[in-house]
Structure 1
Amino acid sequence: MPEQTTTRAPQPAPPPAAPAPAVRASAAGARNSLARLGPWPWLGPSVVLILLVVVWPVVEMVITSTHKISGLGIDFGYDGTGRYHKLFADARLGPVLLWTGVWTVLVVTFTMVISLALAQLYNQKFFGRKFTRWALIIPWASSVIVTSIGFRWMLDEVAGVFNRLLLDLGLIDSPESWTGNAAHAKPWLILVAVFVSLPFTTYTLLAGLQTVPGEVYEAAKVDGAGRWQTYRRVTLPLLRPSFLVALVINLINVFNSFPVIWGMTQGGPNTDTSTSTVFMYILGQTDVGESAAMSVVNFAVVIVMVLLFLKVSRWNEES
C-alpha cells in the first residue's frame, strides 16, 4: 500500500500583541509635548539662523564700536563712546550723509517710475514681449561689481568708448574725466544704480499687475470709467502691496549699496562720491572702531527709515 501523506491547512498568524500600556503612555506623552510646543519645532531652525546671521553680527558690531582698534586689527581696549565722538567730529561726515540721502531718493524714485512704466508695457501683449522680458534680466543676472567696472572702463578718459564716440561726433573737443570729479561722476553713478535696480523692481510690479483680475477692468468699463480713471482708481490701489514691497526693498538696497560706487569711483575723489556705506569701508582701513560706529549709525538709519515709511504708508491698514 502506498504511504499516504497528510497535509495540514496553514494556521492563521497570531494577532500582533498590543503595545504595552507604558509604551502607549510614552507615545501619547511625546505627542502632547510636541503639541504644546506649537509651531516652534518648525520655526526653531529659522530663528536660530536669524540669531546667528543677523543678531550676533549686530551685537559684535556694537561691541566693536566701543573699542579702539587700528586698521591692522590691534585692539587698544575699551573706548566707550570715543569712536562715536571721533566719527561725528569728522568734517567729511556731513557731506557724506547729504549725498547718501540725495543718492537714495533719486535712485529709488527713478527706479520706481521707470519700472512701473516697464511693468505696464510688459503686461501688454506685443510681438517680441518674451524676448524683451528676457533681455531685462541681463543687468540682474550679471554681477553688480562687474557691471560697475564695465561702465568705469567705458567712461575712462583715455581708453573709454564714450569719449571716443563724443570726439568722433564732434560733441567735445578733448576727452573728459567722467569719473574723475564728483560733478560728472554722480549722475553716472545714479544712472548705473537705476540700471541694475530695474529688473527686480519691474518684475515685482509686473507680478502685482498680473494678479489684478480682468473682471475688475470690465466692471470699470461698464461703469463708464476712462483709461486714466481706471488706472488711478483700480490699478494703482490693487498694485499697492507689490509697490510697497518693491519700494521698501529698494530703499534698503540703495541706501546700503556698495558695489556701484566702489566699482566706479571707490568713493573718490577724496570722499566726494562716498555714501555712508562706502565711507564706513574707507574708515575701516585706518580705524576699525570708528568704522563699526559708522555701521551702527547706518543700521539705526535703516531701521528708522523703514519704520517711518511703514507708519506713513499705513502698511497694516487694508485699502
Structure 2
Amino acid sequence: MSPSSKAAPAGRPPARRLPQRLGPLPWLAPSVLLILAVVVWPVVEMVRTSLRRIDTTGTDHGPAGLVKYRKLFADPRLAGVLGWTAVWTVVVVALTMLISLALAQLFNQRFPGRRITRWALIAPWAASVLMTAIGFRWMLDQVAGVLNQVLLDLGLITSAQAWTGDAAHARPWLVFVAVFVSLPFTTYTLLAGLQTVPGEVYEAARVDGASRWQTYRRVTLPLLRPAFLVGLVINLINVFNSFPVIWGMTQGGPNADTATTTVFMYMLRGYDVAESSAMSVVNFAAVIVMVLLFLKVSRWNEES
C-alpha cells in the first residue's frame, strides 16, 4: 500500500479547504477595505499632517512635533469657539428632538391633509443644506432682505437690521436654520418608531385605566427609546460637525464669533494647513469621546 493511500491518524481532523478556513472574511473584505480607505487612512493622514511644517502652498518643511497643537491652544479665539460649539450642539439637538417628537406624534394621528403635510416636511431635507443657508442669508440681508422689508412695512422696526452682522443677532438665526434642516430626518425616524408600537398595548393600557399622560410616559416613550437614541446620536454627530449652515450664512464671522470647531478648522486652512489638521484631530477626538460618553450614560444596548 502506497503512503498516500494511508488513512489519516486517528483524532486528527481532515484538512479543510482554504475558503472554509477563511470563513466570512471574503464577504467582509470589501467593507473592511472601504472603511480603511474612507475612514482610517484619512485619520492617519490627518494626524501625520498635524505633526508637520506645511506652508500655505502645500510645501512640507519637515516634522514639527507638537508645535502646531501648542499654537492652536494658544489661539485666543479657541476658547470662544469651543464654548459656542458646546452651546450650539446642545441647543440645536435639544430643540430638534423636542420639536420632532411633537411632529412625529402629530403625524402619527389621522387628520385631513396628513399626507400633504408629511410630504411638505421633506422639503428642507430634499434641498441642499448650503442652498438653504444661502437663501436665509439673503432673506436676512440688511439691504435686500425680505425680512427687513416686511418688518419695516409692519412698523415693527424703524431701520433695517444687520441680522447676521454680529454674533448676538446671528446666533439665534443660525440655530433656527440648523433646527429647520434637521427636523425632517429626526421626525421621520421617531415616526417610524411610533408606528412600530402595537395597538394592543394602548388598548391594554386603556383597560387598566391609565390616563393619556400615563400611557405616553410609561408605554410610548419606553417603546420609542431605540428610535429616539438613533435620532439623538446622529443629530449629535451631524450638528457638532455642521459646516454648511454656519459657513453659508456668516462664514464664522465676525472674528470667528459664530464659528464652531469645524468651521474654525476650515478658517485656519488659509493660514496654516498643519494647525488646521491639529484642529481636525481635536475635533475628531471630541466627537468620539462625546458619542462614547453618551452611549455609556444612555445604556443604549440595554432593554428598557
Q: Same fold (TM over 0.5)?
A: yes
> Counterpart in 1 of 2:35?
50
> Counterpart in 1 of 2:135?
150
What are the within-5 Å matches in structure 2 for residues 239-258 of structure 1?
239-258=224-243
State the secondary structure of the residue aligned to 1:316. Answer: coil
State the secondary structure of the residue aligned to 1:274. Answer: coil
> Counterpart in 2 of 1:14?
none
Letter in 2 for 1:216: V
Identity, in percent, stands at 76
Matches of 1:125 and 1:32, distance apart in 2: 59
> Counterpart in 2 of 1:171?
156
1:312 aligns with one of 288, 297, 302: 297
**How far is the alpha carbon of 1:158 from its aligned partner?**
0.2
**How far is the alpha carbon of 1:70 from its aligned partner?**
1.5
Residues paired across the two proteins, number: 291
Matches of 2:34 and 2:232, distance apart in 1: 26
**How far is the alpha carbon of 1:192 from its aligned partner?**
0.1
Letter in 1 for 2:61: F
1:68 aligns with one of 47, 53, 78: 53
1:217 aligns with one of 202, 206, 217: 202
**How far is the alpha carbon of 1:41 from its aligned partner?**
1.6
Matches of 2:169 and 2:55, distance apart in 1: 34
Matches of 1:42 and 1:200, distance apart in 2: 31
Evaluate the alpha carbon distance shift between residue 31 and residue 126 of structure 1 in structure 2; reply closer, same or farther with a 3 A threshold. farther
1:161 equivalenced with 2:161 (yes/no):
no
**How far is the alpha carbon of 1:291 from its aligned partner?**
0.2
Q: Deviations over 1:264-304 (max 9, x none)?
A: 00000111000000000000111000000000000000000
What are the within-5 Å matches in structure 2 for residues 214-293 of structure 1?
214-293=199-278
1:121 equivalenced with 2:121 (yes/no):
no
Q: Deviations over 1:185-220 (max 9, x none)?
A: 000000000000000000000000000010111111
State the secondary structure of the residue aligned to 1:198. Answer: helix
Q: Deviations over 1:64-92 (max 9, x none)?
A: 00011112212121000000000000000
Relative to the length of structure 2, the TM-score reads 0.94
Matches of 1:204 and 1:31, distance apart in 2: 46
Relative to the length of structure 1, the TM-score reads 0.90
Query: What 5-or-longer segments of structure 1 have no aligned partner?
Result: 1-28
**How far is the alpha carbon of 1:33 from its aligned partner?**
2.6
State the secondary structure of the residue aligned to 1:171. Answer: coil
**How far is the alpha carbon of 1:239 from its aligned partner?**
0.3
Q: Deviations over 1:142-201 (max 9, x none)?
A: 000000000000000000000000000001110000001110000000000000000000
> Counterpart in 2 of 1:140?
125
**How far is the alpha carbon of 1:36 from its aligned partner?**
2.4
If you compute each CA radius of gyration, which structure gives the higher value, 1 or 2?
A: 1
1:105 equivalenced with 2:86 (yes/no):
no
**How far is the alpha carbon of 1:30 from its aligned partner?**
11
Letter in 1 for 2:275: E
Matches of 1:47 and 1:267, distance apart in 2: 36
**How far is the alpha carbon of 1:55 from its aligned partner?**
0.2
Moved >3 Å (runs of 4+): 29-32
State the secondary structure of the residue aligned to 2:109. Answer: coil
> Counterpart in 2 of 1:303?
288
> Counterpart in 2 of 1:193?
178
1:35 equivalenced with 2:20 (yes/no):
yes
Aligned CA-pair RMSD: 1.1
Query: What 5-or-longer segments of structure 2 have no aligned partner?
Result: 1-13
